[in-house]
Amino acid sequence: MDLGLAGRKAIVCAASKGLGRGCATALAREGCEVVIAARNAGPLEDTAQAIRRATGARVHAVVADVTTEAGRAKILEACPEPDILVNNAGGPPPGNFRNWAREDWIKAVDANMITPILFIKATIDGMIARGFGRVVNITSTSVKAPIAILGLSNGARAGLTGFVAGLARETVRHNVTINNMLPGPFDTDRLRSTIEATAKASGKSFEVARVERMAGNPAARFGTAEEFGDMCAYLCSAQAGFITGQNIVLDGGAFPGTL
Ligand code: NAD
């Protein structure tokens, strides 16, 4: 299936590793020119090289912290008129809300709610004027089924989801869609560090904790960044113009609801 993405310009935030990298790779493979951003130059440039080699696409690496104004300006300078925007940032730390101060909440809301909203604000009117736009926000299944120790994530991402639900209905008539992708367990560094923490706390080896975690999923495995990237590319495709304001769960069936 030709997704009609050749020549489109894409920004993928937080893309040196994991799910962001998966999205950037899939978009590059479909013919997009991609700007990828992350904070550390070395791993980011390695990823840019790997994507160029694998896809032949034009990939620009921008060293930037997406949660800062300077970082966002640098990314938008590299791609002032994106057709596609993939919002992503690191997730907030786990913990008990009794130990979180105002600053912890501000940091989480800043990274996982306000940063994507500011990127949308900077790019959406251009997309509307050009008659094509696709925004994909990487959130979490914690929006749908809260995870107690991830209260910062549950809260901040729910805020983004509520905002997007309204805006996505205003932009779609201009062929500009906004959707959220909700990852369950995907085999990335982020998941590996969570498993390491579980293993340490329970006195189990990393491998035992990993196998147990996989066994608890209906698919009996974790998702891959490639699978995640492919869904992102589809949501950004020419064919996906009638899909907006949706929360696409990718979790191997872990969420037990009928709908
Ligand atoms: P990861 O740790 O593998 O990769 C995160 C990427 O984001 C890296 O490239 C890192 O350099 C970059 N990054 C982090 N903060 C940044 C910032 N402020 N500015 C620029 N770049 C930044 O993580 P992942 O598993 O790919 O997760 C991506 C998002 O999805 C996170 O918000 C995470 O909480 C969420 N999530 C992941 C899973 C999972 O199972 N992997 C599940 C639910 C939610």
pLDDT value of position 63 = 98
State in Å: Cα 21 to ligand 1 middle.
Answer: 10
pLDDT value of position 197 = 86
Confidence of residue 105 (pLDDT cuts 50, 70, 90): very high
Mean pLDDT to the nearest integer, 58-74: 98
State in Å: Cα 78 to ligand 1 middle.
Answer: 21
The answer, yes or no, to whether residue 201 has pLDDT greater than 90, is no
Residue 219 CA to residue 117 CA, distance in Å, equals: 33
For the chain, what percent of residues have pLDDT higher than 90?
Answer: 96
Atom of ligand 1 nearest to the CA of 186: 40
Q: Is 250 in the pocket of ligand 1 (CB under 6 A)?
A: no
- Ligand 1: residue of 25, 88, 160, 196 to mutate (most ligand atoms within 8 A of CB) is 88
Q: Which two tokens stand for residue 115?
A: 């940063």
Q: Is 229 in the pocket of ligand 1 (CB under 6 A)?
A: no
17 Ramachandran zone, left/alpha/beta (phi>0; psi -120 to 50): beta
Considering the entire predicted model, what is its pTM? Answer: 0.98
State in Å: Cα 49 to ligand 1 middle.
Answer: 20
Mean pLDDT to the nearest integer, 141-163: 95
Mean pLDDT to the nearest integer, 101-128: 98
> What does the buried/exposed string (b/e) look like for 191-223 if buried means 16 or more CB atoms within 10 Å of the residue's CB?
beebbeeebeeeeeeeeebbeebbeebeeeebb
Q: Is 245 in the pocket of ligand 1 (CB under 6 A)?
A: no
Q: Is 185 in the pocket of ligand 1 (CB under 6 A)?
A: yes
Q: Is 37 in the pocket of ligand 1 (CB under 6 A)?
A: yes
The per-residue pLDDT of the chain, averaged, comes to 97
Q: Which two tokens stand for residue 206?
A: 């990393």
State in Å: Cα 90 to ligand 1 middle.
Answer: 4
Q: Is 183 in the pocket of ligand 1 (CB under 6 A)?
A: yes
Mean pLDDT to the nearest integer, 140-159: 95
The answer, yes or no, to whether residue 194 has pLDDT greater than 90, is no
The answer, yes or no, to whether residue 114 has pLDDT greater than 90, is yes
Q: Is 66 in the pocket of ligand 1 (CB under 6 A)?
A: yes
Atom of ligand 1 nearest to the CA of 111: 18
**Residue 14: exposure state from Cβ atoms within 10 A (0-12, 13-18, ≥19):** buried
Q: Is 189 in the pocket of ligand 1 (CB under 6 A)?
A: yes
Q: Which helix (H) or strand (E) holds 192?
A: helix 189-202
Mean pLDDT to the nearest integer, 171-190: 97
Residue 152 CA to residue 126 CA, distance in Å, equals: 32
The answer, yes or no, to whether residue 198 has pLDDT greater than 90, is no
Confidence of residue 191 (pLDDT cuts 50, 70, 90): very high
